[in-house]
Structure 1
Amino acid sequence: MTLNAETMARFAQVYRDNRGAVYAYLYGRAPEHDLAEDLTSETFVRALRAFDAYVAGDRPIRAWLFTIARNLVTDEMKSARRRRQTPLPDMLDESRFVVAEPDPAELVSAGHARDSIRSSLARLGGDQARCLVLRFFEERSIGETSTVMRRSPGAIKALQHRGIDSLRALITTGAIAP
């Protein structure tokens, strides 16, 4: 694979513009931060390999990147079910490093909040959940979300507002708001 300087510059801009959104998308689907980072890197490695062959047509490049990311996370989840992971003991002498231990209460709280939002979104379902995922996990604009969902920007704003209200009700009371 040989890419000229112009292609590399274009790809670098694509990377800068989309890395955060791809990571957010994968972090919402991967069980761990490290896995989301690894899958984000692999998404852009695969995109770089096929960048010259990518034909935009009427499909935005971000949609192409999300397709790569979705396929990677799907493959990862399938293969994770088949293998059993056993952590290896840490071979580093930790006394040489000053490591600030995270507060266990904060870790539990953050993990609980993330799990609560994921399960509530799954219970919410439908267009409201899809709108919230597109807007907040995939970091899409109102315009991009309206294009994907084939609705007007005003309808997306209303759907997002109702979705947030319903999600709040699910998280706090366990019931969907009317």
Structure 2
Amino acid sequence: MTRERATEGAADGSADDAVRLAALFDEHAAPVWRYVVHLTGDRAGADDVVQETLLRAWRTPKILADEPSAARSWMFTVARHLVIDEVRSARRRREIDVAEMPERASADATDALFEAILIEEGLAALSPEHRAVVVRAYYGGLTIAEMSAELEIPEGTVKSRLHYGLRALRLALQERGVTR
């Protein structure tokens, strides 16, 4: 932890405040930092706790006016409470440190593959006329009029083939174990 980082909270104050906080840092930062590292084992987290502890001491001038040993024990108590608060925080309970980012979950395509195979087999069981209309309607997205023009058959025939083709497809799929 550097003196500049610890004193950045006093940047908007007077020069006297910055000097007071720098003196506070020089006198107490190292022992408080060692204490927090001993408690947590986290050197980076200890920097944050020490900074907050020093700022609280700086904002409480009565503590600094007392005997230096009393001020330091007060800072140890404040640091300990900050560590306990961090451990108990909801953010800490939900965060899990991992070495690598986990892979994103992806949907299993096995079911979709089996359904596609079943539909392909069911379509193969249809007559070529019925299959042509069903495929154009459901996979091509064509309307009755467009299929009629493309296949050069009347619209009524397209409707009839679509109706009987879907009925035959339903029966073919039921034979393969697909139920509604």
Scaled by the length of structure 2, the TM-score of the pair is 0.40
Query: Which structure has more RCO (C-alpha within 8 Å, separation ≥ 6)?
Result: 1
| Structure number with bigger Rg | 2
